[in-house]
Amino acid sequence: MTDIATRVYNHTWKIDPIVRSVLDTDFYKLLMAQTIFRRYRDVRVTFGILNRSTSVKLGSMIDIGELKEQLDHIRTLALSRGESTFLRGNMFYGKRQMFSPDFIQWLEEFRFPQYHLEKRGDQYELLFEGPWIETTMWEVPALAVVMELHSRAVTKGLGKFELQVLYARAMTRVWEKIGRLKKLPGLSIADFGTRRRHGFLWQDWCVQAMIEGLGKHFLGTSNCLIAMRREVEAIGTNAHELPMVYSALAQDDRELAAAPYKVLADWQEDYDGNLRIMLPDTYGTKAFLERSPDWVTGWTGARIDSGDPIAGGELVLDWWRRRGADASKKLLIFSDGLDVESIERIHAHFKGKTRIGYGWGTLLTNDFRGFVPDDGLDPFSIVCKVIAVDGKPAVKLSDNPAKASGPREEIARYRRVFDVPEQVSMPVAV
16 belongs to the binding site for a second copy (CB under 8 A): no
CA gap 239, 385 in Å, rounded:
11
The answer to whether 177 touches 126, Cβ cutoff 8 Å, is no
For residue 88, what are the CA distances in angstroms to 38, 106, 402? 18, 13, 40
Q: 173 vs 349, which CB is nearer to a second copy?
A: 173
295 belongs to the binding site for a second copy (CB under 8 A): no
Binding mask 321-360 for a second copy (x = CB under 8 A): ----------------------------------------
Please report the beta strands in 182-221, taking only residues with DSSP state E, as ranges in sequence order: 189-191, 218-221
Sign of CA dihedral 296, 272, 328, 234: negative
251 belongs to the binding site for a second copy (CB under 8 A): no
Please report the beta strands in 316-380, taking only residues with DSSP state E, as ranges in sequence order: 331-334, 355-360
209 belongs to the binding site for a second copy (CB under 8 A): yes
Q: Which of 114, 172, 328, 425 binds a second copy (CB under 8 A)?
A: 172
- Count of residues that bind a second copy according to CB under 8 A: 21
162 belongs to the binding site for a second copy (CB under 8 A): yes
The answer to whether 418 touches 397, Cβ cutoff 8 Å, is yes
Q: Which of 15, 64, 91, 165 binds a second copy (CB under 8 A)?
A: 165
- Shortest distance in whole angstroms from residue 158 CB to a second copy: 10
- Shortest distance in whole angstroms from residue 361 CB to a second copy: 20
HSE on the CB side for 22, CA within 13 Å? 26
Q: Which of 64, 168, 265, 348 binds a second copy (CB under 8 A)?
A: 168
Q: Which of 3, 109, 294, 326 binds a second copy (CB under 8 A)?
A: 3
Binding to a second copy, residues 98-137 (CB under 8 A): none
390 belongs to the binding site for a second copy (CB under 8 A): no
Helix axes of 253-270 and 241-248: crossing angle, nearest 10 degrees: 140
Residues 6+ apart with CB under 8 A from 170: 198, 202, 367, 368, 371
Q: Which of 12, 96, 161, 409 binds a second copy (CB under 8 A)?
A: 161
Query: DSSP letter at 421?
Result: -
- Shortest distance in whole angstroms from residue 210 CB to a second copy: 9
Residues 6+ apart with CB under 8 A from 58: 51, 122, 123, 124, 146, 150
290 belongs to the binding site for a second copy (CB under 8 A): no
Q: Quote the distance between the C-alpha of residue 119 and its chain's center.
A: 25
**Which of 284, 304, 261 shows the shortest CA–CA distance to 420?**
284
Binding mask 211-250 for a second copy (x = CB under 8 A): -xx-------------------------------------
Q: 96 vs 216, which CB is nearer to a second copy?
A: 216
- Shortest distance in whole angstroms from residue 181 CB to a second copy: 14
Q: Which residues bind a second copy (CB under 8 A)?
A: 1, 3, 5-6, 9, 159-162, 164-165, 167-169, 171-172, 175, 208-209, 212-213
